[in-house]
Amino acid sequence: MQEHPEGTGGNACTSRWKGEQGLKSNFRFIYIFILVLVSIIVLAAVGCSAGGTTASTSTGTNTSAGVTSTTSSEYSIAVIVNGKQTATLTPADLGKLPQVKANVGGTDEQGPTFMSAMNSIGVTNFTEVTVSGFTQGRVATADLTLKKAEITDNVMLALVKRGTVKLTGTDIGAQKAIIDVNKIVVK
C-alpha cells in the first residue's frame, strides 16, 4: 500500500477532495473580496455625486474667515428665485462678508448671517426660503423651510473647515442644521 504524503494515512480520493475544498475556499475569498471592493467603489461614487457637490483634490486655500478649504473650488450654493437660478454663493464669497460667531450645540461656528448673505446678492423681498443640503452626519438629504420672520441675526451660513457651508445658528440648533448646503430656494 502506498503511503499518503505527510503521513495522514489518507488515500488519493481523500487528497483530491481536500484540494477541491481548498480551491472552493480560495474562490469564496476572491468572490467576497470583489464584492467588498465593488461596494466601496459604489459608495464612493454615490457620496461624491450626492447633492450636486463635487469632491476632488484639496485646494488648500484660505478664506478671509480663516477657514481652510479642503474641497474642490467647484462647490457652490445655487440661489433660486421665482424658479430661476439668479445667483451662486461660494465659501469665498461668504468669507468676504462680515463674520459672526456662535456656539451651537457645543460647536463654535463662524460665518455671515443668513440675511447678510441674501442682501449681498440683492435678495431682500421674500416671504420664506427653503435651504437644501444634508442632515447631520450626511446620511440623508434634508430641506429646512424658514419664514422671513424666523431668520434672525442668530441664523448663519457657517463656513466649514472642509470648504463647504452649513445653515446653523442658535435659533436653529444643531439638530435642525443643514450640512453642505447646495441650494436656497427663495419665495
In angstroms, the CA 33 to CA 41 distance is 12
Range of the domain at 46: 5-50
Coil, strand or helix at 126 = coil
Q: Total domain count for the chain?
A: 2
Domain-embedded: residue 128: yes
Domain boundary among 15, 33, 50: 50
In a domain, 171, yes or no: yes
Give me the helices (H) in the chain, please. 12-49, 91-95, 114-120
Tell me: do 91 and 179 sit in the same domain: yes
DSSP letter assigned to residue 99: P
6-41 residue pLDDT tens:
555 555 555 555 555 665 667 677 777 777 767 677
Q: Which residues contact 92 (CB under 8 A, 6 or more apart)?
A: 61, 63
Report yes or no on 109 lying in a domain.
yes
Average pLDDT over residues 84-90: 97
Would 60 be classed as within a structural domain?
A: no
Residue 129: inside a domain, yes or no? Answer: yes
User: Is 46 a member of any domain?
Assistant: yes
| Res 45: pLDDT | 54
pLDDT, position 55: 30
- CATH number, residue 169: 3.90.420.10
Over residues 151-163, mean pLDDT: 96
Res 175 pLDDT > 60: yes
Q: Are residues 37 and 129 in the same domain?
A: no
pLDDT at 179 over 90: yes
User: Is the same domain home to 39 and 97?
Assistant: no
Same domain, 169 and 117: yes
Residues 44 and 124 in one domain: no
Does the pLDDT value for residue 137 go beyond 80? yes
Whether the model pTM is above 0.75: no
Q: Which of 172, 165, 179 is nearest to 77 (CA)?
A: 165
Shared-domain flag, residues 44 and 87: no
Beta bridge partners of 81: 84, 186
Same domain? For 150 and 102 the reply is yes
Q: Are residues 34 and 115 in the same domain?
A: no
Q: Are residues 33 and 90 in the same domain?
A: no
Which residues are registered as beta bridge partners of 142? 133
**What would the pLDDT profile of 93-102 be if each residue is shown by its tens digit?**
999 999 999 9
Say whether both 131 and 168 belong to one domain.
yes
pLDDT tens, 36-61? 767 677 565 555 444 433 332 223 33
pLDDT value at 173 more than 80: yes
Residue 59 lies in a domain: no
CA-nearest of 28, 150, 158, 57 to 101 is 158
Whether 168 and 114 share a structural domain: yes
The verdict on 173 and 90 lying in the same domain is yes
